[in-house]
Structure 1
Amino acid sequence: MTIPLVVGVDGSEASLEAADWAADEAVRHDVPLHVLHAAGRDEEQVDVVGRTAERVRARAPSVRLSTEVLREDAAAALVDKGRDAFALVLGSRGLGDLAGMLLGSVSLAVAARAHCPVVVVRGGAAHRGAAAGDVVVGVEDEESSGTAVRFAFREAQARRCRLVAVHAWSVPVATPTPPGLSGYALQALERPPAQVLADALHDPGQRYPDVPVTREVVDGSARRALLKASAEADLLVVGARRRNGHIGLQLGLVNHALLHHAPCPIVVVPQT
């Protein structure tokens, strides 16, 4: 049995946009789509999944669709469903979030705890509709980013588009540097950043030889580099590691910033 793509909905416009994105993604990968509405016990009963299902069927008649309503905490329900899901898809904000919030509390909690890739659907219609062009992936190294890189290659192949792989690095401010030797030259003595990126892309590139790849090595902020690279992208992919001795993922400052400010849908992929 094929595991489903799961989209969490609450009736908000952002969750409807997420359902649209999820419907397209389910068709793209030929996987079932499961629409989940998790409502608190005191929340008024509304036919959120029924209305969302009608919208999905109109957009993607061929998709294998199922629905479910759970009377429990939304983040906990989604994380639990994510234990056996192709991915979890969420809107950037929900009905219960305060005005002015950049990212909904449920989306952030799920992105930090899920066991499968989590997509937060952000950006304008062009970015959400796979009309912009590229899949962008942030690469730390082959050990930390391997699962995210493989996910990004698979997405680029399914979308028949270019993969832009970005490796940003900088020498810590307190690092002593020999006179006349730049930070780049100092790090290059050990392992050139371009080699780090090449090594991370090698095995997935062999598996997906038809995907065109552009490599970008940036001396500077990873946050700025990825936001710039994804300005014209359909999808931004980043990895996250498990925290030693703690439940959840090591999202870090960069991933937090990207989840709040990415100009397109962003996927957080747990490293396995």
Structure 2
Amino acid sequence: MASTIRTPDTSSVIVGVDGSESARRASLWAAAEAVRRGRPLHIIYGADTNGRELYVSAETIEKVRAAGRELLDDTAKAVAAEYPGLQVTTEFSRTDAVTSLHRAGGLHGTIVVGSRGLGGFNSLMLGSVGLDTAAGARTPVIVVRDVDETEERGTVLAAVRDEHDLVCARYAAREAELRKASLRLLHVWNILQSVGNVAPMLDDVDGIAGKHASALEAVTDTIHDEFPDLTVASDAEKSLSVAGVLAEASRHADLLVMGGRRAPTPLGLGRNLGGATHSVLHHAHCPVLLIPRAGTDFGSRS
């Protein structure tokens, strides 16, 4: 087992640890995912010692390094105890956690983060590292929620808006195959977002519903053709809260797959996830896999 590396296998499952219980759970979940995919696991600790050198003593920096390496070793041992045949590498990074995870993810890795780290308030459902990692990633990111439910439900859920989410649907189909699970494609549309608040326009609700159903049908037909052995169900629902419907549906899924657009902020500074995606990450009842994509966020106004 390697103790420290700089360039993990680009197809690795990468997980960040910080000593929190959330990160410990995420590391074990990531290990199971790596086994499922037949990929190595790369465990990384972003200490941000480069950013602290001007403000703290060399002795303190050394203590941080020692603690970080001990955490990595302990996590690797815990993973090895559960999954003895898994290839595991660890990395102590001198940069911050988000930068470290993005760099380790490269172009082809899958990043796993816990829903809450050591900082912040206990009432927060998702920590800043998880949010920033998900918002800025160019590769898939899985946010593992702190839930005690371990019973497998045998379903992968995919949020589908239109044909632009076909990539997400395909990814979800492959995840369902790996889990020997069924796939549910769920299209949720916000009626007020679709027709506005002008009452006369509500007369065309049936026509609007038909357009949404057609968009879902096109994606469903493609998935049926490409994954003929996979059990696929599809549903279209209208609601005032896209995020609310997705979060509730996640109660019955092992994994929720959805687009995680890196959208510009209103001022054009930085990037964000969009309203619905942000809310789903806070309230989902199962791990959420975000697939980077261009275009408007899934239900971003809900």
Say yes or no: TM over 0.5: yes
Cα pair 1:114 1:248 within 8 Å, conserved: no
Ranked by relative contact order (alpha carbons within 8 Å, sequence separation 6 or more), the top structure is 1
Shift of 1:173: 3.0
Cα pair 2:10 2:106 within 8 Å, conserved: no
CA–CA distance in structure 2, aligned partners of residues 31 and 146 of structure 1: 24
Name the aligned partner's letter for residue 27 of structure 1.
Answer: V
Structure 2 gaps of 5+ residues are 1-8, 53-60, 295-302
How big is each residue's C-alpha offset from its partner over 1:89-108, in whole Å with a ceiling of 9 and x where there is no partner? Answer: 00011112333221111000
User: Of the two, which has the highest radius of gyration?
Assistant: 2
| 1:155 to 1:94, Cα distance in 2 relative to 1, 3 A | same
- The correspondence of residues 3-22 of structure 1 with structure 2, limited to 5 A, is 3-22=11-30
Cα pair 2:157 2:257 within 8 Å, conserved: yes
CA–CA distance in structure 2, aligned partners of residues 248 and 163 of structure 1: 34
CA–CA distance in structure 1, aligned partners of residues 45 and 281 of structure 2: 22
Instruction: Tell whether 2:242 aligns with 1:222.
Output: yes
CA–CA distance in structure 1, aligned partners of residues 207 and 48 of structure 2: 55
Cα pair 2:135 2:262 within 8 Å, conserved: no
Tell me the TM-score normalized by structure 1: 0.89
How big is each residue's C-alpha offset from its partner over 1:173-221, in whole Å with a ceiling of 9 and x where there is no partner? Answer: 3356358x351x1315xx5322111112333332222221111100112
Tell me the TM-score normalized by structure 2: 0.81
Structure 1 gaps of 5+ residues are none
| 1:83 to 1:201, Cα distance in 2 relative to 1, 3 A | farther
Instruction: Tell whether 2:62 aligns with 1:54.
Output: no
Identity score, percent: 36
Partner of 1:174: 197
Cα pair 1:241 1:250 within 8 Å, conserved: yes
Which secondary structure does the structure 2 equivalent of 1:125 belong to? coil
Give the alignment partner of residue 33 of structure 1, picking from 36, 41, 47: 41
> Please, what is the CA RMSD of the aligned residues?
2.2
CA–CA distance in structure 2, aligned partners of residues 35 and 80 of structure 1: 13
Name the aligned partner's letter for residue 240 of structure 1.
Answer: G
| 1:242 to 1:100, Cα distance in 2 relative to 1, 3 A | closer
CA–CA distance in structure 1, aligned partners of residues 201 and 14 of structure 2: 53
| 1:86 to 1:2, Cα distance in 2 relative to 1, 3 A | closer
Shift of 1:244: 6.3
Partner of 1:146: 166
